[in-house]
Amino acid sequence: MSMSDSDSSSYAGADYKSFKQISRERLLHEMLRSAKTGDSKSTLKVLIMDKLTVKIMSHLCKMTDINGEGVSLGEDLYKQRQPLPTWDAIYFIQPTRENWSSFSDFLSIFVGSVIMFLSDMSGRTPLYRKAFVFFSSAISKELVMDIKKDMEVLTRLGALREMNLEYFPIDSQGFITNNERALEELFGDEENNHKGVTCLNVMAKRIATVFASLREFPSVRFRAAKSLDATTMTTFQDLIPTKLAAGIWDCLVKYKKSIPNFPQTETCELLILDRSIDQIAPVIHEWTYDAMCHDLLNMEGNKYVHEVPGKSGGPAERKEVLLEDHDPVWLELRHAHIADASERLHEKMTNFISKNKAAQIQHGSKSSSEMSTRDIQTIVQALPQYSEQIDKLSLHVEIAGKINRIIRESGLRELGQLEQDLVFGDATTKDVIKFFTMKEDITHENKLRLLMILASVYPEKFEGEKGQNLMRLAKLTEEDMNIVPNFRMLGGQPVTKKSLTAAFGLKFDIHKKKHAARKERPGEEEKWQLSRFYPIIEELLEKLMKNELSKEDYPCLNDPSPSYQGSPFSGPVNQNPHSMRSRRTPTWARPRGSEDGYSSDSVLRHASSDFRRMGQRIFLFIVGGATRSELRVCHKLTEKLKREIILGSSSIDDPSQFITKLKTITTHEISLDDIQI
């Protein structure tokens, strides 16, 4: 029995494994497999989790994985459970004395996980034979003493460990801390910032467990508070990245002392930003397959619901599928432009049918009278594989077709062109006004998103009555009209007259004739229409790699040791110059011969990543929600720069989710200049 994080898994010197692989193996091997020792090897086991740890487990493991480690049953800690006195129990729980289901609901308090565990295992008739207890994060000394007081419980303990794994992988290179209300709690101008402090404390603890799991000690950099003059008050919002960096650092210092094999010098880099760094990315239309699925199809997380033919000619049935890494078609096409993904799906389906005899017969290439005995044998042999592959391909053909239909019916290509022209300074307010007068059938949400982009590039157009007139022209509701001021406030742009600068901290030469929120990227050739836009983090990560990121704007909390070699750029980057085609008339889909990392016809080409030659990891955390485009950039730069880049955030938001969260922000004035770090 050990009160420290398991020391059975030090990753230094081992084969390089991806972030998600390591996280998954910790749960399956360090936790579940470690319960199969001594007289517990052949004992039936039940896995007991609370609400938080269920979500953690579901993001990393399937039920078949859990069963494979000897667990026969899963139970909810807070539901009434049947006694199983001959079984062993594996507890994966938060180390709490009491939990709150809602911060704002003082009536929803219930007993904590440690109290529930003690209740299960104490007394003359415990629910289970033996308990293997694993905590998702560090446990307090007070709770340890509570456990030690009960000698009956101590005799029934098989393990007592801090797993320090309290984050939610959403992707092979992405995780969230599940702080869904971060925008409201951190960026709202509330007189009492207690909610914000609590939110940051939880966030810091959960981010730190990522480094505990991976045995990584980061050099911690963060976006500094903006330059302020003597008359400007420092607000809680200004200090969010600073405070979060300090909170993470406090946890890391404790890990260095308490976790076996935890690095004592820097092994990676962490850059902490907040949502104000890039207001456009959450609302602009992103044209990749992944982003379009989540933007246009009303998916719940990664769950897509569609209808399939009923059995024996019955009515159609609703079926749920998850668009995740286990699907090789999704894995290959998710970051491809929607037009390119559609083309390639058509090619895959055509090629599959032409090569697969069972598919040919299914599609009428041969009649049953033409089938030989050998044909029938081939069908029997091919049918299981045919069924699985054709289902996957058919699913994605259906999804891509639905997306393309929405694009046509909603006029999204023209809207998307205007959005990107605004971002790159090739359109003005007049173009937006003209668009609104000519396209009255555009949805309210798309009008709002366009106005938010306009407010980002031309903030002076939203001062006073001018902004109200623009929103009235768009026929926004009163509720939607309140979102634009919240959006501007989120980026640190007060609703007062300012000099002509680009919004939200991105400064540009005021003598230029046009505003622009992005600069054209030299050497970046457009491969398809509407692909000009890129999130700001792409530039920041490349500068970080080359050691060109401003140390004044992005200071380092801990000065890296002299032996640390993470910052200097040391790998080759493909910088072959490309001629720029006209940005007004790109083709809808890319040329077939261009290389974007997704040109293989094999759906399995990118089913796994080889990280053996990767350099030190880069971690990027965005407070206030990350986007699909930012996750895509991390995958793209991992391949380009040969360093695994892991994106973390309080949540990952699609445009509609981001807009909904903006509605919750309050904007009354406060004074927080006396906040101490």
Cα–Cα dist 411/393, whole Å = 27
- Using CB atoms within 10 Å of the CB of residue 550, give its burial: 0 to 12 exposed, 13 to 18 middle, 19+ buried: exposed
Look at residue 558 in the predicted model and tell me its pLDDT. 81
Q: What does the pLDDT average to over 110-128?
A: 89
Look at residue 373 in the predicted model and tell me its pLDDT. 62
φ, ψ at 649 (rounded to 5°): -160, 165
Cα–Cα dist 285/295, whole Å = 8
Q: Which helix (H) or strand (E) holds 498?
A: none
Look at residue 160 in the predicted model and tell me its pLDDT. 94
**Four-point Cα dihedral 197, 199, 200, 203, nearest 10:** 160
DSSP string for residues in 353-421: HHH-HHHHHHTTSS-GGG--HHHHHHHHHHHHHHHHHHHHHHHHHHHHHHHHHHHHHHTHHHHHHHHHH
Cα–Cα dist 19/11, whole Å = 11
CA angle at residue 330 from 341 to 333, to 5 degrees?
30
Cα–Cα dist 143/145, whole Å = 5
Give the model confidence (pLDDT) of 407-448 as tens digits: 999 999 999 999 999 999 999 999 999 999 998 889 999 999
- Reading the block at residue 153, the tokens are 């419980």
Cα–Cα dist 156/134, whole Å = 14
Cα–Cα dist 179/199, whole Å = 7
Residue 565 has pLDDT above 90, yes or no: no
Which range is least confidently modeled, 130-144, 545-559, 572-586, 650-664? 572-586
Give the model confidence (pLDDT) of 348-401 as tens digits: 888 887 777 666 665 555 554 555 666 555 555 556 666 777 788 889 999 999
Among 239, 210, 212, 237, residue whose Cα is nearest residue 224: 239
Cα–Cα dist 199/186, whole Å = 8
Residue 589 has pLDDT above 70, yes or no: no
DSSP string for residues in 101-149: S-TT-TT-EEE-HHHHHHHHH-SSS-SEEEEEEEESSPPPHHHHHHHHH
* Total Cβ atoms within 10 A of residue 513: 5
Q: What does the pLDDT average to over 61-79?
A: 94
- Reading the block at residue 119, the tokens are 């209740």
What is the band of 572 on the pLDDT scale with cuts at 50, 70, 90? Answer: very low
Cα–Cα dist 359/389, whole Å = 10
> Strand locations in 301-348, DSSP E?
303-308, 317-322
Q: What does the pLDDT average to over 508-531?
A: 66
Q: What does the pLDDT average to over 452-480?
A: 89
Look at residue 496 in the predicted model and tell me its pLDDT. 41
Return the higher-pLDDT residue of 582 and 653.
653
Among 341, 349, 372, residue whose Cα is nearest residue 596: 341
Look at residue 106 in the predicted model and tell me its pLDDT. 36
Q: What percent of the chain has pLDDT over 90?
A: 55
Cα–Cα dist 128/82, whole Å = 10
φ, ψ at 537 (rounded to 5°): -60, -25
Contacts (Cβ under 8 Å, ≥6 apart) of 500: 460, 510, 515
Contacts (Cβ under 8 Å, ≥6 apart) of 217: 211, 252, 255, 256, 262, 263, 264, 265, 266, 267, 268
CA angle at residue 319 from 661 to 51, to 5 degrees?
50
Cα–Cα dist 236/196, whole Å = 9
Residue 262 has pLDDT above 50, yes or no: yes
Residue 296 has pLDDT above 50, yes or no: yes
**What domains are defined for the chain?**
19-166 (3.40.50.2060), 172-278+611-664 (3.40.50.1910), 289-410 (3.90.830.10), 413-490 (no CATH)
- Reading the block at residue 556, the tokens are 């380092």
- Cβ atoms of 272 and 222 within 8 Å: the answer is yes
Cα–Cα dist 527/587, whole Å = 8
Distance of CA 319 to the CA centre of its chain: 25
* Total Cβ atoms within 10 A of residue 676: 4
- Cβ atoms of 259 and 164 within 8 Å: the answer is yes
Look at residue 7 in the predicted model and tell me its pLDDT. 42
φ, ψ at 663 (rounded to 5°): -65, -25
Q: Which helix (H) or strand (E) holds 644?
A: strand 643-649
Residue 288 has pLDDT above 50, yes or no: yes
Cα torsion angle, 166, 167, 168, 172, sign:
negative
Cα–Cα dist 453/417, whole Å = 13
Q: What does the pLDDT average to over 14-39?
A: 88
Look at residue 169 in the predicted model and tell me its pLDDT. 94
Residue 107 has pLDDT above 70, yes or no: no
- Return the DSSP state at 14: S
Residue 47 has pLDDT above 90, yes or no: yes
**Four-point Cα dihedral 341, 343, 344, 346, nearest 10:** 120
Look at residue 350 in the predicted model and tell me its pLDDT. 84
Which range is least confidently modeled, 273-282, 472-481, 649-658? 472-481
Residue 596 has pLDDT above 50, yes or no: no
Distances (CA, A) of 578 to 68, 337, 402, 574, 596: 51, 20, 34, 11, 14
pTM of the predicted structure, to 2 decimals: 0.84
- Reading the block at residue 461, the tokens are 């157009």
Look at residue 526 in the predicted model and tell me its pLDDT. 63
Q: Which residues pair with 175 in a beta bridge?
A: 169, 648
Residue 182 has pLDDT above 90, yes or no: yes
Look at residue 336 in the predicted model and tell me its pLDDT. 95
Which range is least confidently modeled, 65-74, 139-148, 556-565? 556-565
Look at residue 111 in the predicted model and tell me its pLDDT. 60
Cα–Cα dist 175/21, whole Å = 13
Q: Which helix (H) or strand (E) holds 30?
A: none
